[in-house]
Structure 1
Amino acid sequence: MSTFVYYNFQFAKIARQPVQGCLFEDTKQTIDPEESFAHKQEILSEILFADYLGKQRIVFKNPKGDKIHLHHYLAPYTSDIAVMKISNRQVRTTETIKFEKEQHEEYPACIVVIDNRPGIQRIVVESRKQAFQNVKQVQRVLQSTLRHLLLPWGLSISIDQLHTRTAFWNVANDARLYPQGFRRIQFHLPHLNLERLKKAMTHYLVMARESFDSDLSWSQKAVEGGKLNLDENDSHQSTLIKVLMEDVGGDSVITLHPNGKGQKPVNVGRDNFRLGEINESVFEQLKEGDPIDREKAMDEIKMFTKRFIE
């Protein structure tokens, strides 16, 4: 079985400043981000399809340097789904029978699936330490590269990891590390332009005040000298935490501020990931099977990327 980490991706418009002192009437106008945003998924599909066809190849680049990560498609880009492998070049030094050192290049890779179907907007990344020690490396490469490619359209993109609700409650219920409870809880939402997430959040923003016994600001604070009422058995709270951690996600979706001198804020879920497993043979069939096997494999991948979406 192969283990994958789940991500949402969402788009954002980039505000462009007007050019001052333009002297020429025929100066080419920049693309309107509002217009681009209305066709955001179509634009991404065009980028991925052109890459697959080899017409305009994507160069996946590490944002912290000039390292290039090669990639290869396991199947044609169809149904708004890209299935590819992304490699991480490594240089190994070995010693020969003649006691001499030799350097060898290796290109271990992990599988990445970009599901750009309407209402899905999911990316799953194979957790394979032989290729990338941390899946966050892959997330940064993908996000930085896609942001660069979308820039001419006045668009950006955010790739947000999903978490487990358990990560939150493990911290909230830890009486040993946080004996005085928590005085404040902060919520951070990414750009919510994915309709399924917007619908999920509407109801819970309204009921948050009653559940936490706090004010209605999105940074919710207990009464002076008190602590927040964090109750895993409260159905409203448990559902809200579930939606934020497992459906919305993000690098800093919830921050808890403990009571007590010297206690530092806890960014819940930063190193916690929502995982899923799928048989390795599915990708082998996708690449090497007959047409019927490849179609079945793609259907299984579609169900896999859509997992946890209600």
Structure 2
Amino acid sequence: MSRFILYTFQCAPLQNREKHLFENLPSIQERMDNKLEYIRNIITSPGFKFKSKKDGEFNFKLFYDHEGLLVFRIANNKALNLEENFKNTQHHYSPSCFVILDNRENIQQVAIEEDKKSFSSTDVVRNILEYTLKKRLLNNGLTIEIKKEYEQKEFWELVGKQTKGVSMVRFTLSYPNLGRVHDSIEKFLNSESKAVNSKKTELEFCSDNSEQLELHESNTQLAGLVEASAKSGNPITIKARGIKKFIRTGETIKSFEIDDLEAKMASSDLFQNLSGWLKHQYDNENA
């Protein structure tokens, strides 16, 4: 049984009017409309390899590409010193882990297999994916961020633990292009963030020194901000009364398990199975 950790990816347009780097590219709207096609074309292009600034290239093997779902393995570059005939000999090997990239509109998730024999953490794989795609998407006038999702309930549990109340809450939201976020928040970000080309939008709520914020899950606008933050992987900053340090969400993770994914690669029902596993995660988000 393999455990997969969930991440979300979002794209944003690049602008450089002084150097006119993007003057021959499609409009910002066209680029954003085609962002998922660009990502698929990059990963499925002949001879493609993932890269990192520090460790060079990483081999990968694409197993599945159908209706927006891509499944591949990415191999690490490792070496082991073993003694043979009284001499130390270095042996190179390439353990790999699975990555499921859900490239469908309004989903935009990456599930990375947790396998410490191949990579020390799923964040290492995340860094490789983001570094490579950022470099390649420059040609399309776009950038990308991949962030680990966390549980929405984490915020409400943290707020509930503050016996003296909360005096400040700050939300940091990414450039709007992910339909899974709360509808009202998406509309706000569309009208404000896009107009000024803001890659990040911050909303901060502060109480008077003698008072505290009224933070209730029944407040649909507040719940929408919490939902958007958790699904986008953006931490929420909390200032509790009586505590000097800021508190930040993002400590929890979202994950699911798959039994022997490689054996399921040949199944004619693979798309339905993958969609079902991932949909189960979306349903749990809103349960």
Q: TM-score, normalised by structure 2?
A: 0.81
Determine the structure 1 residue equivalent to 2:236: 254
State whether structure 2 residue 56 is matched by structure 1 residue 67.
yes
Mark the structure with the bigger radius of gyration: 1
Identity %: 24
Aligned to 1:276: 256
Distance across 2 between alignment mates of 1:266 and 1:28: 40
* Aligned 8 A contact 2:181 2:228 in 1: no
Superposed counterparts of 1:1-310, under 5 Å: 1-19=1-19, 29-34=23-28, 35-50=30-45, 54=46, 57-63=47-53, 65-75=54-64, 77-96=65-84, 98-175=85-162, 180-197=164-181, 199=183, 201=185, 218-231=203-216, 234=218, 236=220, 239-240=223-224, 243-244=227-228, 246=230, 248-250=231-233, 252-260=234-242, 263-269=244-250, 271-280=251-260, 282-286=261-265, 289=266, 293=267, 295-309=268-282
Structure 1: gaps (5+ residues)? 21-26, 206-216
- Matched-pair contact (CA < 8 Å) for 2:7–2:147: yes
User: 1:123–1:305: 8 Å Cα contact kept in structure 2?
Assistant: no
Aligned mates of 2:135, 2:240 — CA distance in 1:
39
Kept after mapping to 2: 8 A contact 1:122/1:305: no
Query: How many Å separate the matches in 2 of 1:143 and 1:110?
Result: 16
Provide, for residues 39-75 of structure 1, a one-character-per-residue CA deviation record: whole Å limited to 9, x for no partner: 222222222332xxx2xx3231124x14322111123
Amino acid of the residue matched to residue 10 of structure 2? Q
Counterpart-to-counterpart distance in 2, 1:95 and 1:241: 57
Q: CA RMSD in A?
A: 2.9
SS in 2 for 1:183: strand
Can you give the 5+ residue segments of structure 2 that lack an aligned partner in the other structure? 190-201
CA distance in 2, matches of 1:202, 1:114: 23
Please say which of residues 143-152 and 297-306 is displaced more in the overlay.
Answer: 297-306
Counterpart amino acid of 1:309?
Answer: Y
Answer 1 or 2: which has greater strand percent: 2
The number of equivalent residue pairs is: 270
Distance between the aligned counterparts of 2:187 and 2:141, measured in 1? 31
Give, in angstroms, the shift of residue 187 of structure 1: 0.5
Contact 1:183–1:257 under 8 Å retained in 2: yes
